[in-house]
Structure 1
C-alpha cells in the first residue's frame, strides 16, 4: 500500500481514537434529548391551563357579584320604593363579604359616581412589608434568572392583546365600559392588562330591586396568583425534566457505549487489516452478545478468516502453478540445448517432438489454469436456477453416444422410475454442473477397459439428489481417495502418455459442487469376494 494511503489511515484512526463522543453517540443523545425537550416545551407552555384558570376566575367573580349585589339590594336600600343604595349599610356588607376574600369591590350610583371602594375599608392592607434581598446574592441571581425564564416563556405564549388597565383619582362609571353596560341591567365582564404583565378581571353586576337598577357593583381581581401558580408548575416541570434529562443522558450514553464503542473497535480492527498486517490483527469478539453487534463481530471475524484463507489459496495456487509450469519449461530448455549440440537427424526429430509435446502441455495447462481461476468469479455473478439433474445426465449420455469413437465405452444411465413424473431438481448453474458430469465421465472413460460400460446412477434421498459415476477400472488406491481431489494431482492408467491431463478436473469439480452446498467423494466398488472391481464418484446436491 502507498505511503500516503498508510498515513491517511493512521490519521483517521487517531481521530477516531481521540474523539470523545462518536457521531453515533451524538446522534443518540440528540434524538433522545430533543424529543424530551419538545415534550417538556409543550408542557411548559401551559397556555390552556392559564386560560382555564382565568375563565374560572371570571365565573367565580360573576357568581360572587350576583350574591353580593342581591345582598346590597336587600339590606342597603330603604323599602321597595328605594331609588338608591344607602352607603353605610353597603360599607358594612362589603367589609364582611369582600375584604376577607381579597377581592376589590366598588359601588357606583345611578349617576356614575363612586360611592364605596373596598380598598378604603381594608386599613390593614395599606401597609405592605417586603423582604429586600442583598444585591449580588445567590438568591437575587436565581430570582432574576427565574424571572427572565418565565418572561421568555410568556413571550412565546399566544396571549390575546388586552387593553391596559388604568385608574383615575376621581373614578366614575364613564371610566369603565362594563359599568355603563351594567347600568342598563346587564352583567358584564372584561379582561385588561396590568403593568406587571398580569391581567385584571372585572365583573360589573347591576344592583337592582324589583327590576329597578339602584347602582352597579364592580368586582375586580388580578391574576397575579394564577401567574404564580403557573410559574410554580413550570418550576415543578423543570425539576422533573432535570431528573428525566439526567436519566435520558445516562441511558443514551449506555446505549451509545453498547453500540458505538463495539462498532468503533471493529472499524479500527478493519483499518489495521487493510494495510496488510494480516493475522497479527485480532478482531474483537463479542460472543456474549446475542444482538446485531454480536452478529456483526462474528461475521467480520469469519469474513477476515475467509479472506486469509483465500490469500493462502492464492499463494498455494501460485506455487503449484509455478511448479507445474517449470516441468515442461525445463524439459523444453533441455531439449533445445541438446538439439543445438546434436547433428543426428533422428535425435533432432525426437527432440523436436518432445518440444512440441511440452508446448502442447503448456498450452493445455495455461488454458485449464485460466479456466479454474475464473470459475469462482463466474459462479458468483451467475443466478442459480432449478436444474433437472436427471435430464442433464440423460442429455450428456446421448451426446457421448452420438460422438463416441469405435471401441469407446458405452455410457449407461440408471434413472428412478418416477423421474419423468417427479424431476430431480436442484438449485444450481446449468453450465458448471454439466462440466462436473463431463469431468467425471471423461475420468471414468480413461480408466474403463475396452468393452466395459460407464454407468450413471441417480436416486432421490430424503433432502438431496445423489448422482454416481461408476467404472470398471482398477479403482482408486485407498490412501488416495481424498488426495485425488487436490489441485494438479494426476494418477493415470498404464500405457497413457505423460502430460495428457493437467490434474485440475476433479479439483474443479469439487469446487463447483461445494459452491452448490453439495458434496463429492470417491469410493471403490467391490464384488462379493471383496475384490475391487472399479471406482465410483458420488455427487450429492440438496433438492430444490
Structure 2
C-alpha cells in the first residue's frame, strides 16, 4: 500500500499565517460590526451533527483515515472534517484507489478547505459594513444639510408668521422677506405679498369704517339737534324748518349708507362673466347721464376699432362709471360748460386696453388733490351740498376690480381730465 502525503506541515503553517496577515477579521470595524451577528447566530443557530477534526492526520497515520481505508479496499472514499482552531472551517477529503493489475496498490488523497471561501466572505462582510457606515454618515450629513437649508428656514418663516399676528389675531404688519433665491425665498416673497395685501386691505377697511362713522355722525348730530329744537319751539314755521332740516339730514345719512353698501359690493369683486362692448354701452351711458347734467352739453367720440372691443364690466357698471365722472365734471365746471367723453386704444399688442377720457372746462385739480380725490369721503367742495366724496372712489374701485386704473390730471388748455383704462377681453372665454 502506498501512502502519499497530502501536505507539508511547514507549508501548512505558513499558509494560515499568510492569510492571517490580510484577514479582515483583524480590523476593529469587522469585530465591532460582527459581534451582534455572532450573538444572534449563537442564539438562533440550529444544532449540527458532530464532525471529525480536520487535524486528524496530524496525530494519526494516513492509513488511519476511513476514506483511505475505503480507497485501499478498492472503493471511493470521502469524509468531511472541521478544523479544531479558533476559526471553524470545513475540510473536504476525497480518496480514490490506485489500481494495478486489478488490485488496489495505493490511494490518492485530495483535500480542500473552505478557509479561503471564508476569507472572501469576511471581506464581503467588511465591505458591507464599510458601505453601511458610509451611507449612515452620508445620511447624517444630508439630514444636517436639509435641516440647515430647508427645515430651519421654514421654522423661521413659521416664527415670523406667528409674530406678525397679535394675541387677538390682528395682523401687526407684513412678514419680513428673506433674501434667499430658491423655493423658500419664493414662499417667503409670496407670504410677504399676501400679508402686505391683507394689511393694506385691513387698514383700508379701518379707515373706511372711521370715515363712514365720521360722515354719519354729522347728519345724526344734526338730526338730533333739529328734533330737539323743534320740540322746544312753539312757532310752527320754525318747527317746520327744523323738521325739514332733519329730513334732509336723514336723506344724506341714507345716501351715505347706500354708497357704503355699493362700495362693499364693488370691493367683493367684479363678475368674471360680465362683458360689455365699448361703443354702444358708452353712448347709452352718456345718454342716460345727460339727464343728470342737463346744463352741460356732453359729446362722445369713440375711435375706429374701439367700439367693438369687449371689456370685463357689465353695462350697469359702465353706466355707473360714466355717470359719476359726468357728475364730478358738472359739479366743478361753470354752468353751460361742455364735457367731452372719448374712447381710444391703449396698452400694447400683447395687452391691449381701452382708455376712456372725460374732459371738462372747470378749474382743474390742485396738485395736492390729484391723488387724494380718489380717497373715500374726500371732497374739495362745501359739505353742505349733497356731494359725499364717493363718486371718484367708486370709479377707481370699479376700474381696479376689472384689472384697470383710474387717474386724474389737468389739461394744458385748462380744465380737468379723469382717465379710466380698462383691459380688453376675449368674448370666447
TM-score normalised by length of structure 1 = 0.58
Maintained 8 Å contact 1:368/1:504? yes
> C-alpha offsets along residues 252-280 of structure 1, whole Å, 9 cap, x if unaligned?
21321222222222212222232259798
Q: Aligned with 1:219: secondary structure?
A: strand
Q: Give the match for residue 500 of structure 1.
A: 386
Structure 1 unmatched ranges of 5 or more: 1-85, 101-121, 131-138
Q: Give the match for residue 483 of structure 1.
A: 372
Q: Give the match for residue 421 of structure 2.
A: 540
The answer as to 2:120 corresponding to 1:232 is: no
Give matches, 1:402-481, under 5 Å.
405=291, 408=294, 412-419=299-306, 423-425=308-310, 435-444=320-329, 446=331, 449-450=335-336, 452=338, 454-462=340-348, 463-479=351-367, 480-481=369-370
Count of matched residue positions in the alignment of Structure 1 and Structure 2:
396
The answer as to 2:159 corresponding to 1:268 is: yes
Maintained 8 Å contact 1:269/1:282? no
> C-alpha offsets along residues 196-251 of structure 1, whole Å, 9 cap, x if unaligned?
77555566767678999988755332323322332233224424543453343134
Q: Give the match for residue 209 of structure 2.
A: 318
What is the CA-CA distance between 1:340 and the residue it aligns to?
1.3
Maintained 8 Å contact 2:160/2:176? yes
Maintained 8 Å contact 2:266/2:401? no
What is the CA-CA distance between 1:442 and the residue it aligns to?
4.0
- In structure 2, relative to structure 1, the CA distance for the partners of 1:509 and 1:407 (3 Å cut) is closer
Distance 2:141 2:381 in 1: 72
Distance 2:315 2:79 in 1: 90
The answer as to 2:225 corresponding to 1:334 is: yes
Q: Aligned with 1:99: secondary structure?
A: coil
Tell me which of the two structures has the higher relative contact order, counting C-alpha pairs closer than 8 angstroms and 6 or more residues apart: 1
- In structure 2, relative to structure 1, the CA distance for the partners of 1:336 and 1:254 (3 Å cut) is same
RMSD, aligned α-carbons: 4.8
Give matches, 1:123-522, under 5 Å.
146-151=33-38, 166-167=51-52, 172=66, 200-201=91-92, 217=108, 219-276=110-167, 283=175, 285-287=177-179, 289-376=180-267, 378-379=268-269, 384=272, 387=275, 391-392=277-278, 394-398=280-284, 400-401=286-287, 405=291, 408=294, 412-419=299-306, 423-425=308-310, 435-444=320-329, 446=331, 449-450=335-336, 452=338, 454-462=340-348, 463-479=351-367, 480-491=369-380, 498-522=384-408
What is the CA-CA distance between 1:314 and the residue it aligns to?
2.9
- In structure 2, relative to structure 1, the CA distance for the partners of 1:147 and 1:444 (3 Å cut) is closer
Bigger mean CA deviation after superposition, 393-402 or 316-325: 393-402
Give matches, 1:517-528, under 5 Å.
517-526=403-412
Distance 2:293 2:388 in 1: 25
Maintained 8 Å contact 2:297/2:336? no
What is the CA-CA distance between 1:165 and the residue it aligns to?
7.4
Q: Aligned with 1:226: secondary structure?
A: helix
Distance 1:431 1:273 in 2: 40
Structure 2 unmatched ranges of 5 or more: 18-25, 57-63
Between Structure 1 and Structure 2, the one with more helix by share is 1
TM-score normalised by length of structure 2 = 0.72
Q: Give the match for residue 20 of structure 2.
A: none
What is the CA-CA distance between 1:503 and the residue it aligns to?
1.2
> C-alpha offsets along residues 147-203 of structure 1, whole Å, 9 cap, x if unaligned?
534437979xxx9x9985734997546999xx8xx959xxx9999999977555566
> C-alpha offsets along residues 352-386 of structure 1, whole Å, 9 cap, x if unaligned?
1111111011011012112323432x21xx66468
What is the CA-CA distance between 1:486 and the residue it aligns to?
1.4
Distance 1:511 1:406 in 2: 22
Q: Aligned with 1:274: secondary structure?
A: coil
